Amino acid sequence: MNSSDGMLIVNVSAIQAVAIAAVTYYFGAWLRKKVPLLEKYSVPSPVVGGMLVALVLSCLEYFRLMQVNFDTSLQTLLMLAFFTTIGLSASLKIVTEGGKLLVSFLFVITILCVLQNFLGMGLAEMMGLDFHYGLLAGSVSMMGGLGTSAAFGPYFEQTYGVQGGTAVAITAATFGMVVALLIGAPFAEWLIRKYKVLTPKEVDNPEPELHIPEDLETAVVEGEKEPTYTPQLLKAGTIVAICMGLGAVLSQYMGQYITLPAYIGSMIVAAIVRNVGDFSGKYMVEGKGMNAIAEISLVLFVTMAINGLKLHELLNLALPLMIILAGQTILMVVFAWVMFFIFGKTYDAVMLCAGGIGFSMGSTANGLANMQAIAEKYGSSPRAWLIISLVGAFLIDLINALLVTWMGPGRKAASFFSQLRSLLTKVTGPNCN
């Protein structure tokens, strides 16, 4: 603790940062229960508590009263652990079991990722901003949600010098989560009514009632139940640690040729480890233990990232960011409409649209919540439920991370959008906006 130019500077150690994150999370969980609106729109506890902490700290820094600096070394470790569990979930066996519909849906959603990025980058360039802001408000936050936002925000700040990148990404992700819940189920309802879609309840053949699971298992087949939870957790932790260690070596090697986020190597190694185990049958990834590590690491590293946000850096970006996010919302609705026709104008297609809106602008939980709202009224769609769970939970996260990494340098894209902006200036005149 020291002072500079009359402003108190507080340095928070890595251990203290984790402790503050844990307290912040539980404060957010308590506040979420007290405010029905937060519960209704499924605003995550890390966002509720973290945004309040970030707002207070940002105000103190803006008025030059106090600056708090967090040691993020353990945040990086937790981020690596989370994305390693994503890689360990990427089972090719599960993909093949999902059939052609899953592969087709994954392909279509990958196209949406690209469109989200091009729309964001294009709008950012049109408004005279660094195109990286558009990328952060593209698939990083929309498709990736809070986890990917908290990972790529600091990466963009360090690699490309994007000021306030983390704040932009997390703010965009929070916006997307709320909007996804607002438009997902009503849009699906509109599709059913407008196109007179035949529903399970109308043919008197309703499917079993669906319930949103508390977790998504990562194991293909579960083994015998252990009398205690410790062995499962220890085994999962060992696999994660080994993948992180080997991934660090791979990242160091790949870093000689291309700049990548720190977790890419671990995620690739984890995916290889998972599929070798699946096809050889020599070992198995434990679902419950892996899920626990994923949840704990995600909650802590996202909360730590939000706590450290410099929200005052968003003041000059508020209007451009809202324009980009409005564009992303329109794109999502139009794309979901097209997707309804692509998948045959069936009830399964309606449910894929509802779930797709949820996880393409927020999280898998949002997608499942949208589907649940429709299922309670019209009947369930097990195929769509399976596909949204698999694609939204881990498959698209893996593809999105690699896609954003590839598009990050964006030299060709930046040149294209700059030329487009110059063309529009010539057409409209230099004094026109």
Q: Is 433 part of any domain?
A: no
Q: Is 35 left (phi over 0), alpha (psi -120 to 50) or beta?
A: beta
Q: Is 232 part of any domain?
A: yes
pLDDT digits (tens, 9 = 90+) for 235-293: 899 999 999 999 999 988 888 877 677 788 898 999 999 999 988 888 887 677 888 89
pLDDT digits (tens, 9 = 90+) for 137-187: 999 999 998 888 999 999 999 999 999 999 999 999 999 988 998 899 999
- The reported pLDDT for the residue numbered 389 is 80
- Residue 210 predicted with pLDDT over 70: no
Q: Is 44 part of any domain?
A: yes
Share of residues in the chain with pLDDT > 70 (%): 86
Point out the least confidently predicted range of 252-256, 286-290, 396-400, 417-421.
417-421
Total structural domains in the chain?
A: 1
Number of Cβ within a 10 Å radius of residue 389: 22
Q: How far is Cα 61 from Cα 78, in angstroms, rounded to an integer?
A: 27
- The reported pLDDT for the residue numbered 273 is 93
**Chain-centre distance of CA 23, in angstroms?**
23
Using DSSP, state whether 262 is helix, strand or coil. Answer: coil
- Structural domain span for residue 331: 2-428
- The reported pLDDT for the residue numbered 426 is 67
Q: Is 327 part of any domain?
A: yes
167's CB contacts (< 8 A; 6+ apart) are 54, 153, 309, 310, 311, 313, 314
Q: Is 383 part of any domain?
A: yes
Residues of 405-429 as b/e, b for ≥16 C-beta within 10 angstroms? bebbebeebbebbeeeeeeeeeeee
Residues of 189-219 as b/e, b for ≥16 C-beta within 10 angstroms? bebbeeeebebeeeeeeeeeebeeeeebbbb
Q: Is 277 part of any domain?
A: yes
Q: Is 192 part of any domain?
A: yes
Three-point CA angle 183, 189, 194, nearest 5° = 120
Q: pTM of the predicted model, to two decimals?
A: 0.81
Mean pLDDT of all residues in 209-233 = 50
Mean pLDDT of all residues in 350-378 = 88
Q: Is 70 part of any domain?
A: yes
